[in-house]
Each structure stands twice: as C-alpha cells, then as structure tokens.
Amino acid sequence: MIFYHLGFDLNYLGWLHQNLNSDPGWLAARALILSTFLFTVGASFALAEVRGTPLKTQLARAAKILAAALLVTAGSWLAFPKSAIYFGTLHAIAVMSILLLAIPKGVWPACTLGVAMLLLGNGYADSHFDQPGLAWIGLMTHKPITEDYVPILPWFGACLIGYGLTCKIVQPQRFNALAQIKPKPRFLSWMGRHSLAIYLLHQPLLLGILIPLTRFLKS
C-alpha cells in the first residue's frame, strides 16, 4: 500500500507519467492491495468471534474507524476539493464492520454470499445507482470523481470470504495455540497493532517529504 501510494504521489507531482485509472498494472496492484485489506477485515472479525470479543468493543472499533474515515474525507477535501474521498477504504471498512455483525454465521453461508457479491458487483451495473447518494452501494455505470472509491459491491465479497475461510481454519480449540505464535520479524507484529495509525500517517509523511523536494529540485 505504501509503495502504491508512493507511486501515486510521484505521478501526482510529475515525477512519473502514468494513468493510474486505466493502466492494467496499476489497477491490478490496487485490486490486490484492497482485496488483501478487506479479506483481513473479515478474518479479524472471525478471530474476534472466536476470542469472544464483546459487541461493545466491536462497535467501539467500528466507531474509531469511522472517525478516521471522516478525517480522511476532511483532509482529502482540503487537498483535492474537486475529488474528495467520501466513501473510500476506511469508510467501507467501518460499514463492513457493522454488516459483519448481521451476516449468517458459518463458513459456507459467508463464502457463498461473498462470491455472489463479487460476481454481482463486477458483472452488473445500472444507471439508477449513478446518483451520489447511492454511490456507496456500487453497481454504478461509471466510477465517480473521487480519489478513493470502495463501494460495498463488490468489495464486501472479499471481506465475507476472509471471514468464512478464517472460521473454517481457526476453530475455537486451536485459537489459544495460534495466539501464541509470534510473527518474525517482530516489526510485522508492531505494524499489525498500529495499522490504522500507519494508514493515516503514511501519506502526509510521504507528501511532506516529496512536495518540498520537488519544489527544491525545480527551483
């Protein structure tokens, strides 16, 4: 993700000259990164269920992510007023975190629904969904003008598949043993515990370095 956004920033500042919205390589990279993100969201929800995390804690987590999403909206509006982010990655994760509470439990219901959402979101579009108020659902005939767009369809499908497969793999009797595994190198564990902060801070840090450097080299 950080390297993808580094490429985006370099392109935005004129160091690169790529069309990120049509180039197959860039589109594939974005799809892979986003699929991994949302698969992990579903997997994390399954682990929270196995661990017995209280509903209050899950709702508080979703509220925290929603607050971060609103911060992204405000920041993007200042930086890109004509293409501000109104339903991007964090907005989608916040909504999906709530939707996961209502899905049918079990491996096959979740995975089947996930595959159906992927197929529907990628195979069907209707102009009725083109209005801004329905953009968060998906099924639009064209991508709206925004810097990050992650609608429920098809992307909730990746989240549901992550949830379903993790339910299959991580049974309650295995959880304590798996929880004792420490990832190596250790910085991976640190990044996992601070993923939201990394997501929010990496772009300001990158731009904070690249913008002055660009101006210096052009002066």
pLDDT at 169: 85
Contact 30, 4 (CB under 8 A): yes
pLDDT at 106: 82
DSSP 101: G
DSSP 20: T
Of the candidates 148, 128, 176, the one whose C-alpha atom is nearest the C-alpha of residue 69 is: 148
Q: Cα(90)–Cα(204) distance, rounded to whole angstroms?
A: 16
From first to last of its 219 residues, what are the pLDDT tens digits of the chain? Answer: 899 999 999 998 989 898 888 899 999 999 999 999 999 999 999 988 888 889 999 999 999 999 999 999 999 999 889 999 999 999 999 999 999 998 888 889 999 999 999 999 999 999 989 988 898 999 999 889 999 999 999 999 999 999 999 988 887 656 565 656 666 677 777 777 888 899 999 999 999 999 999 998 887
Torsion of Cα atoms, 111 then 132 then 204 then 202, to 10°? 0
pLDDT at 189: 74
pLDDT at 31: 94
Which backbone phi and psi does 87 adopt, to 5 degrees? -150, 75
Q: Cα(193)–Cα(187) distance, rounded to whole angstroms?
A: 10
Contact 35, 160 (CB under 8 A): no
The domains of the chain are located at 2-218
pLDDT at 172: 63
- Sequence-distant (≥ 6) Cβ neighbours of residue 42 within 8 angstroms: 96, 100, 110, 158, 159, 160, 161, 162, 163, 164, 166
- What digits encode the pLDDT tens for the residues 77-93? 998 899 999 999 999 99
pLDDT at 71: 94
The answer to whether the Cα torsion of 129, 132, 138, 142 is positive or negative is: positive
Token pair listed for 191:
């990044």
pLDDT at 170: 81
- What digits encode the pLDDT tens for the residues 96-132? 999 999 888 888 999 999 999 999 999 999 998 998 8
Of the candidates 6, 60, 2, the one whose C-alpha atom is nearest the C-alpha of residue 199 is: 2
